[in-house]
Amino acid sequence: MSNSPIQNPKVDVERVNEIKKASFWVSQVFIIIATVLGVYLAASQGYKQAVQFENMKSYKESYYLQKSLQYELQDNIALLKTYIGKLQNANYYGARNEPLNFYSLVWDNMKFSSATLATPPEFLRQAQGFYRNVAKLHDSIAKSDISVDNGLKQLRIEIDLVEQDLIPGLEKSTQTIKQELSGTDVIL
């Protein structure tokens, strides 16, 4: 071990003088402001992109849900028309009690989909009314609570409501969604 005295580190006089100058502090303030502003702008743009992505995803899910409901209703109308044809056939005695066997995959699974509530409420209400009213009419016809002729008239009214109001409404809604997504990279 040597007995040499500990030397003080040399202080850079130029550096100390630079720190004392106002230009040093002004440049540091601008660096801090630029950093904060840059972080804010990046976060803001990221948030906007996330919201836009979520909206496009919601539109796409809503489009597919409404289109699927539209197709299911069209198929069920065809089944109902077949049932009506059987009821009108005087030689077919089992028609009153024949089950409708509606397709209900979409309707049943809509209760588990977050996109269901993005569907305009009037469409959900009309579809719900259709299913409910047809089931009630079918049951009343089967139990002879109402005459076949009266039941047929009421079933035709239900068909007309769906064909003239609900299905065109769903078609218009899906076309609006399709136009909304036309300028994006979303493929329907």
Helix (H/G/I), strand (E/B), else coil: 90: coil
Q: Enumerate residue ranges in the chain where pLDDT < 50.
A: none
Distance between CA atoms of 69 and 122, rounded to whole angstroms?
Answer: 13
pLDDT at 25: 82
| Type of residue at 39 | V
pLDDT at 66: 95
pLDDT at 115: 86
pLDDT tens, 39-77? 999 999 999 989 888 888 889 999 999 999 999 999 999
pLDDT at 75: 97
pLDDT at 76: 97
pLDDT at 23: 80
pLDDT at 128: 95
Rg of the chain over Cα atoms, rounded to whole angstroms, equals 35
Helix axis angle, 148-161 to 121-142, nearest 10°: 170
